Amino acid sequence: MNIHEYQAKDIFERFGIPVPRGMVATTAAEARAAAEEIGGEVVVKAQVHAGGRGKAGGVKVVNTPQEAEEAAAGMLGINLVTHQTGPDGVPVRKVMVAEATDIKDELYISIIVDGDLGVPVIIASTEGGMDIEEVAEKTPDRLFRVAGDPLLGLSPYHARDVAALLEVPQSAQRATAALISNLYRVFVDNDCSLVEVNPLVITGDDQVVALDAKINLEDDALFRHKDLAALHDPEQEDELERRAGSADLAYVKLDGGKVGCMVNGAGLAMATMDITKWAGADPANFLDIGGSADQGRIEEAFRIIVSDDEVEIILVNLFAGIARSDVVAQGIVNAAKETGATLPMVVAMRGTNAEEGRRILNESGLDITAAPDLAGAAEVLRDKLASAAGGAQ
């Protein structure tokens, strides 16, 4: 789960990490009042679950409360499109108004779990700021990594090491090492999957400050952080992923494909994506209905798949155990009739009540081709795609 910058900075403050003084505003008038209270130069920042705001007009340094009000008015209510959002962008409902920082140097620091090492790893670079992706791509040697230890944490020695590698001024070394240790505690204590500070700033008077803050929380650990779970902002999420989440379905949108995949189980999802590729196509998404899907959830699953404009054909691959084929079939038929969806479907059903499921589909009058198994589904899909391509010429 993602949270907003202002929420991440609240957490940072609780862990003793210096951030610029700031306030949240939901109206332009509030932004003006905040700028008046802070005084002097302030920065107005759109609060969205996406980076790249600086290059997209979502971060503005201004000199007066009047300008802060105008900057906020220009952001609030719009959908901000950055290189990290889809083409529709994400809605700006809040802005942060913060004391402007006199920046001498922009550094980069993040913590993630390294899947190979199985430990939290600090990634840092002297080349922080808005072009970090380019640094990572073109000069990866400018990013260095220091591993923590799941039992021992991050040793003070390692924290000092990172501070030294970041080449911060001598007088800021101690504060930087402390900041790094605290950042590591933020990561571990809150069960984060990502903590990122870009930029970590050295100010004109050699103070170290977290100018930006990004925290991703591990969904599977949220049950033990009720206060953090409350920070959820569903408005920032993809609408279909949100709908799937609230129906307890696992939906993943994939780029560029046209085959909508409905499956039960993660392993079957992977196999289904493989056969889709084998058939010469790409998945547009996959939706995992899980083990014990009731009819209402199947109907919602189908509605979600057909709401994805890129889907041209649907591949249903079911290995029914606890989930029953007839329930899934009836759910699909109900939802297809309700939505008026006319997309062709290739359906492989095995397991509990598979025959009854096939009968329901066959008698539905919908454009459904039954396949005996996974391999059969691949062939039917390939033929369907070939004839669709031929028909279009």
Phi (first) and psi of residue 288, to 5 degrees: -100, 115
Does residue 326 bind ligand GDP (CB under 6 A)? no
* 210 binds ligand GDP, rule: CB under 6 A: no
192 Cβ contact partners less than 8 Å away, ≥ 6 residues apart? 111, 186, 215, 216, 217, 218
Q: Which of Mn ion, ligand GDP, none lies near 100, with the C-beta cut-off 5 to 8 A by kind?
A: ligand GDP
Choosing from 33, 73, 78, 103, the residue that interacts with ligand GDP (CB under 6 A) is: 103
Specify the stretch interacting with ligand GDP by CB under 6 A; choose among 99-107, 179-187, 288-296, 338-346: 99-107
List 6, 108, 184, 251, catalytic entry: 108
- Say whether residue 212 binds Mn ion (CB under 5 A): yes
- Site size for ligand GDP (CB under 6 A): 18
Side chain identity, residue 290:
G
Q: List all residues 6 or more positions away from 227 whose beta carbon is below 8 Å from its beta carbon.
A: none
Task: Check residue 100 for interaction with ligand GDP (CB under 6 A).
Answer: yes
Residue ranges in 28-67 that form contacts with ligand GDP under rule CB under 6 A: 43, 45, 51-54, 59, 61
Residues 6+ apart with CB under 8 A from 211: 19, 20, 101, 103, 106, 197, 199, 200, 201
**In the annotation, is 108 catalytic?**
yes
311 binds ligand GDP (CB under 6 A): no
Indicate which of ligand GDP, Mn ion, none lies near residue 110 (CB less than 5 to 8 Å, by partner kind): none
Write down the catalytic residue from 30, 106, 196, 300.
196
Distance CA 311, CA 322 (A): 28
Instruction: Show the DSSP H helices in 203-265 as ranges.
Output: 226-229, 239-246
Token reading at 115? 């899947």
Helix (H) / strand (E) element for 100: namely none
Contact stretch for ligand GDP (CB under 6 A) within 98-106, 119-127, 222-230, 293-301:
98-106
Please classify residue 12 by burial: count the beta carbons closer than 10 Å to its beta carbon, then call 0-12 exposed, 13-18 middle and 19+ buried.
Answer: buried
Q: What are the catalytic residues? A: 108, 196
Q: Which residues bind ligand GDP (CB under 6 A)?
A: 43, 45, 51-54, 59, 61, 100-101, 103, 106, 129-130, 198-199, 211-212
Q: Which residues bind Mn ion (CB under 5 A)?
A: 198, 212
